[in-house]
Chain A
Amino acid sequence: MAGYHLAVRNSHTYFGDQPFVVTAIPASNALHAGKNSIDRPAIHVSDCLPQAICDPPTGEQMDVIWSVADVERSGHFIFGFHRFSHRTEKCCRLVIWHARVDYFRTAFRDRHPIVQKIQRQMRYFLLIGVSALFASCGDVKNNHRLPIYGHHDFTETDTVYYTVGDFSLVNQDSTVVTNKTLDGKIYIADFFFTSCPTVCPKMKTQLLRVYEKIEGAKDVSILSHTIDPDYDSVAVLKEFAFNLGVKTPTWHFVTGEKDSIYSLAETYLVMADEDPDAPGGYIHSGAFLLVDKQRRIRGVYDGTEPDQVNILLNDIDLLRKEYE
């Protein structure tokens, strides 16, 4: 039985930066088997620190509704599951995880235990070596193709990639922004609200770096969705953008129907929702999503971490090269 040993890096809102380790087992061996055994693994929580705030509790099996397919190639792994909220007693909230593969093991159960042990130890040495290599490169890779996130369907002749949903929203200049508006552009998407007291200001500080890089570019846009359209009217977004120093229409601050924005967020594989218990009244992912000209998600970055945004800045160039 092959398994993935994952370190969850960004568990969005629920756990902050708490270290959290899960094991993903391909669904062929799991309770909730899907059609595609690679695409729909069951997630088994094997370790969680600190134990006191483990959620879900250690050992619990969760129904994974989707995840990325090319986990081994990309080194990234995103999955989502429905969670029963014990606090609000409401079922079910979609929880999105973003994990990075630190170490994955292949089947070697048929071999002798001592051989297994040696192999295991060698693997750790290899891991340390590879980690050191990455660390020395500053985690920014220049010569690889970005992964394509989401569930892929396979027809007899072709692969149908996952794309983000259709939308029709209004930006800070009262202009309607749809998929058509962003035709022929790659873009960076995020979800925020202007009165957010927690992660959003950090995200905006970092997104401002992205804006400074692409300001004036014709092939790249930024799409910041408000998840609080009741308060964040066009006028509020206009003032916010102005005060942030955004002068060109490269950066859209968009609003629309609340429910449609929340379901749109799900198509970006991130979460956004109301939560009276959360500071500011909303709960949402701090992720930046890099979307290509075919509306496929090509990168997910923690928008509160300058190091992650360095990788994003590099990946924007990598993605642009694909279209040269």
Chain B
Amino acid sequence: MNRVFCVSMIALIVACGRSKSDSKDLPKMDRQATIKLEQYIVQGKGLYTKHCSACHQDSGKGLASLYPPLKESDYLLENLPRAACIIRNGLVENITVNGKSYSQMMPGLAQLTPLEIAEILTYITNSWGNSTGISGVKDVDRWLKNCD
């Protein structure tokens, strides 16, 4: 009986603690932003699995010297507009990622909408240790209009 009481008290405290911190630490706007980020990531993960993971792998680590990593990739994270354009248009030139050279051609995904590209970009820049935050559809749309 004592044990049951103990367990339920702990459960109560944990539950209270969680709901308190949720409502206290995050103002309403931040909560909405978090939900939006989560939505982007969930959608982006599905699209990533379908279009990208064959080469860049589910782990984001790439494959040998053929396909570069996205996980902690300086090339990806230092220039998000460039990354959005590469997702749409592909890439044929040699690039250097984290000091290593990669030359394999990447096919573009011209059929994707700006929103889908934004979701993929948000997923890959907020997974495997990357934490850049959201790349919103409005920004991505603007970036895509200014591709080289």
A201 to B105, CA, bound (A): 12
* Chief secondary structure at chain B's binding surface: loop
A280 to B90, CA, bound (A): 13
CB nearest neighbor in B for A280: B107
Given contacts A244-B63, A245-B64, whether A201 and B103 have CB atoms under 8 Å apart is: no
A14 to B64, CA, bound (A): 30
Given contacts A195-B105, A243-B103, A280-B107, whether A204 and B63 have CB atoms under 8 Å apart is: yes
A198 touches B (CB below 8 Å): yes
Which 8 A-B residue pairs are closest in the complex by CB-CB distance?
Answer: A243-B65, A197-B107, A201-B55, A201-B54, A245-B64, A243-B66, A202-B54, A244-B64
A205 touches B (CB below 8 Å): yes
A30 touches B (CB below 8 Å): no
B residues engaging A (CB < 8 A)?
54-55, 57, 63-67, 102-105, 107
User: Is A205 touching B107 in the complex (CB atoms < 8 A)?
Assistant: no
User: Is B104 touching A198 in the complex (CB atoms < 8 A)?
Assistant: no
Kindly state the interface size class of chain A when it binds its partner. 10 to 19
Number of A-B contacts (CB under 8 A): 39
CB nearest neighbor in B for A245: B64
* A 83-119 contacts with B by CB, 8 A: none
A264 touches B (CB below 8 Å): no
A242 touches B (CB below 8 Å): yes
A62 touches B (CB below 8 Å): no
A201 to B104, CA, bound (A): 11
Please indicate the chain B residues that have their CB under 8 angstroms from the CB of A60 in the complex.
none
User: Is B54 touching A244 in the complex (CB atoms < 8 A)?
Assistant: no
Please indicate the chain A residues that have their CB under 8 angstroms from the CB of B55 in the complex.
201
User: Is B107 touching A240 in the complex (CB atoms < 8 A)?
Assistant: no
Least Cβ–Cβ distance between A200 and chain B, in angstroms: 8
CB nearest neighbor in A for B101: A243
